[in-house]
Structure 1
Amino acid sequence: MSERTTSSNWALGIVQALELGGVDCRMIFPELGLDYAALEDPDARFPQDDMTRLWQRAVALSGNPAIGLNMAKVVRPASFHVVGYALMSSRTLKEGLTRLVRFQRIIAEGADLSFRSTPHGYELLLAIHGDRLPPARQSAEASLAYALAFCRWMTGKPILPQQILFQGEPPADLQPFQQVFQAPLKFNAAHYALLFDRADIEMLLPTANEALAQLHDRFAGEYLARFSESRVTHLARQVLCRLLPQGEPKREAVAQALHLSQRTLQRRLQEEGTSFQQLLDDTRRELAEQYLAQPNLALLEVAYLLGFADPSNFFRAFRRWFDITPGEYRTRL
């Protein structure tokens, strides 16, 4: 099974945040079997589970469960790899955050981002996945703190979000969270998210540069293509997204689109820890969330866009995924 990985750029940001909190990473890297020198190699990547162990060890050594929030103090575009520069040259934060979602896997594969318009503004949603170890909550807290600090740094404005959502119980000490986010905090939420005002996200960036934005897009696209070549899961997901509106895609059609035999496709997916059926189900679930966030799409249309010939199959699948009906889910949104 191929492991999810984190770029050395993001790992270096984490290390700087931990060192600010008094943790000696030069000492604990060898303990965890990690190469400290690789932090300086822009092409190096660290397994996701090793990053989880690093967070756990740092919390144990520092006695500070909120140490992830230090990420807000180490803002620099390079932490986001080439994506940081693409963000800076974007016209608005809206354009920048859309780029961040598109190229996010370059920074870290353990995180999934989505960015959407809401009736009251915009929402940047974050999901963190582990491989064999459940992800550390500090990883998600660090990502939210960094994303907000980066937005403030790019705009030169003290952006105050409408609300910050966290999964899990509230911490014993809320003060560090209030200090970093300066916004209402909601715990035990369905997902991690930053909720922004429309005006903040649509304001022009002082660093906007269309020509540079296109150049950075090309660099990021090329890097992602090189990086994804070995990941059949990623390529197969793209094919599924394309084929779903025409009905439920067959494994044969996906294998053909990837110039692979069905057997090779199944074997490669297995090596990456999934199967064709599992990938189809996951892709439909992710797309269902995106489609239901678009109020102009009727539930019937969503069912057909997800390749369900019979809408009742969509309703059954949705209840299995989320424990509620699509209508109830949309009402909650």
Structure 2
Amino acid sequence: MKPLARYAALHGYTELGRSLGLDTVELLHAVGLDPAGLRVQDRWVPAVAVADLLERSASASGREDFGLRLAERRRFGNLGPLGLIVREEPDVRSALRVITRHESMFNEAVRTRLTEQDGIATLRIALDLGEPVESRQAIELAVAVLHGLLRGFIGARWRPLEVRFTHPAPRNLRTHLRIFGPHVHFDQETNAIRTNTTDLDLPNDMSDPQLRAYARKLLPDPPYRTRRADTLDRVRELIEVMLPTGRCSVEQVARSLGADRRTVHRRLAAEGETFSSLLDATRAELAQHMVTNRTHTLTEIAELLAFSTPGNFSRWFRHRYGCSPTQWRDRVPQGQPDTRTNGDGRNTEDGQRRRTQPDLAEAAQR
């Protein structure tokens, strides 16, 4: 079944659409949504229909910032019962952990991952819509909503160190700069918000310790999936950092984690993974987007992904995707997003994983 989202994801849509001269009823019908359903915020609908609606609305209104404008109308209450629980968490970090663990309660398509390294906290946001569709507006909505939640906890003066998007920059950056501040970057490897880890230690002034235990009892176990342990996220991130250095091994990763090789293997096994499977999946995701986005030659990609020769990379790619890197690249018109699926069946995201050589060099030094 395709991932679902609650109608709460479209809170404020009718008012925003009408203010921009849109026929919101016609647009809702066009993607198979019931206009009357907007009044029932807890009703579930296909997440892909929500993403399609946002794209059509942005196109019809001529506003590339449609998703951002919709995000500005969101409040804690739009999270439903989860919002009540999040407000009672003692600090920003614990609030984020509750959100990422239970986000499927309000949107099954959103994937949020928090990692911390060298004093920097990175919140990565991705969408799994169940089929290949344009998702720029939905991504910007999700990132801006999370950004708004962080400002609610930390304070209105807070600004992230950086906000990243995988898609190209819009013609007009005014709304992005107004909402996120000056450090907004496009054509990046992932959609993410980066801030100091010390920001996550700040107390939540909205929290009431007497209500916290009671509020948490309201949370059911995640119905569809449970967040994986921090070890998995940290190993995946270290693989991304170490691949271009040519020193990506389980021993090197274990050393970076302050653990031994057996401990890393045991923790990954508890999550249903092995180091080899995680390395192969991470390498495949990077390879797919690097080949699609044409930033590097195939020889450069082979080197960045730590293959000994371009021929080895080509053979591995063909085994993984059923065609050579050249054939893959030729099938995707230059400048167009790739809409095929990767090796494990998940859909690719528009413009993801576009990395430059300086980006990789910088990552390798962190």
Which residue of 250, 254, 264 corresponds with 1:302?
A: 264
In structure 1, what is the Cα distance between the partners aligned to 2:60 and 2:281? Answer: 44
**Displacement of 1:218 after TM fit?**
2.7
SS in 1 for 2:115: strand
- Any residues of structure 2 matched to 1:68-83 within 5 Å, and which? 68-83=67-82
Match of 2:236 in 1: 289
Q: For residues 303 and 291 of structure 1, do their structure 2 counterparts lie closer, same or farther at Cα, with a shift above 3 Å needed?
A: farther
- TM-score scaled to structure 1, two decimals? 0.71
Equivalent position SS for 2:121: strand
1:321/1:69 Cα in 2 relative to 1: closer, same or farther (>3 Å)? closer
Q: 2:207 maps to what in 1?
A: 208
Q: Aligned letter for 1:91?
A: P
Q: Which residue of 1 aligns with 2:167?
A: 168
Q: Tell me the alpha carbon deviations over residues 256-287 of structure 1, each in whole angstroms, 9 at most, x when there is no partner.
A: xxxxxxxxxxxxxxxxxxxxxxxxxxxx8x68
Q: Which residue of 2 aligns with 1:50?
A: 49
Counterpart of 1:107 in structure 2 is 106
Contact 1:23–1:62 under 8 Å retained in 2:
yes
How far apart are 1:211 and its partner, in Å? 3.7
Shifted more, 112-121 versus 303-312: the winner is 303-312
Q: SS state of the match for residue 221, structure 1?
A: coil
> CA–CA distance in 1 between the matches of 2:274 and 2:147?
42
Partner SS for 2:124: strand
Whether the aligned pair in 2 keeps the contact of 1:123 and 1:196 (CA below 8 Å) is yes
The letter of the residue matching 1:302 is V
Secondary structure of 1:108's match?
coil
**How far has the Cα of 1:58 moved from its partner?**
0.2
Higher helix share: 1
Letter in 2 for 1:101: T
**Letter paired with 2:236:** E
TM superposition shift of 1:99? 0.9
Q: Does the 8 Å contact 1:21/1:70 carry over to 2?
A: no
Residues matched between the structures, number: 279
CA distance in 2, matches of 1:142, 1:317: 27
Do 1:129 and 1:135's aligned partners in 2 also have CA atoms closer than 8 Å? Answer: no
**Identical aligned residues as a percent:** 16
Asked if the contact 2:3–2:46 (Cα under 8 Å) also holds between the matched residues in 1, the reply is yes
Q: How does 1:184-203 map to 2 (within 5 A)?
A: 184-203=183-202
- Is contact 1:82–1:216 with CA below 8 Å preserved after alignment? no
Q: Look up the match of 1:131.
A: 130
Gaps in structure 1 of 5+ consecutive residues:
229-233, 246-283
SS of corresponding position for 2:8: helix
Tell me the residue number matched to 1:61. 60
Q: CA deviation at 1:13?
A: 4.7
Which moves more between the two structures, 311-320 or 79-88? 311-320
Task: Classify 1:86/1:17 alpha carbon distance in 2 versus 1 (closer, same or farther; 3 Å).
Answer: farther
Tell me the residue number matched to 2:86.
Answer: 87
| Aligned counterparts of 1:6 and 1:309: Cα–Cα separation in 2 | 28
* 1:203-249 deviation line (CA, Å, top 9, x unaligned): 11220123433333332326x44xx3xxxxx3xx78xx79xx9xxxx
Q: What is the letter of the counterpart of residue 87 of structure 1?
A: V
SS at match of 2:123: strand
Between the aligned partners of 1:309 and 1:65, the Cα distance in structure 2 is 40
Structure 1 distance, partners of 2:101, 2:20, is 32
Q: Which residue of 2 aligns with 1:331?
A: 364
* Structure 1 Cα separation of the partners of residues 273 and 110 of structure 2: 32
Worse-superposed segment, 45-54 or 205-214: 205-214
Q: How does 1:249-268 map to 2 (within 5 A)?
A: none
